[in-house]
Every structure is written in structure tokens, then in C-alpha cells.
Amino acid sequence: MTGRRRRRAPPPPPPGALLDWGDSSHWSQNERPCRYCGFPTNLRDSKRSPAHKVCAEDALSIQAREAADAYQQNGQLG
């Protein structure tokens, strides 16, 4: 009888490497205020909203932490 082995989760990416904004779709010629910090940026997120990469990564980590906390408290997401 062969047992199924659990796959280990991949290691977390190093700080600053969570999002890959290397392609040109994340760049705009027009500076606009970042949706998170308000400082001007030429960068755009996946929905074309102005956002610094670092600000977007911080927001994602906060959302993930809040979801994990809610799951631990309630036993479910949401």
C-alpha cells in the first residue's frame, strides 16, 4: 500500500520579490498618486490603478495576515 505524501508549501519569496512588475503593462508615461501612499508614481497594478510595487506588496501582506487571523478566530474565511 502506497501512502500519499503531503507536498510542502514553497518557501515564501524574499522581501520585495512578491510581485513581478517587469513587463511594460505596469508602466505609464503619466505620473499619478499611488492609491496607498499618495506619492506620485508611474507604476500601475494589474487593474491599471497607480501603485508603488512596495505599497502593493505591503497591502497584500496585510490582507493575508488579516485573513489568517480571521480564519483562526472564526474557523473560516470572510
Q: How does pLDDT run along the chain (78 residues), one tens digit per residue?
A: 566 666 665 566 555 556 777 888 889 999 999 999 999 999 998 889 999 999 998 888 888 888 888 878 876 555
**Boundaries of every domain in the chain:** 24-74
Residues in the chain: 78
Give the separation between CA 7 and CA 10, rounded to whole angstroms: 9
β-bridge partners, 43: 27
Name the pairing type of β-strands 40-43 and 27-33.
Answer: antiparallel
Reported pTM: 0.64
Residues 6+ positions from 32 with CB-CB distance below 8 Å: 40, 41, 50
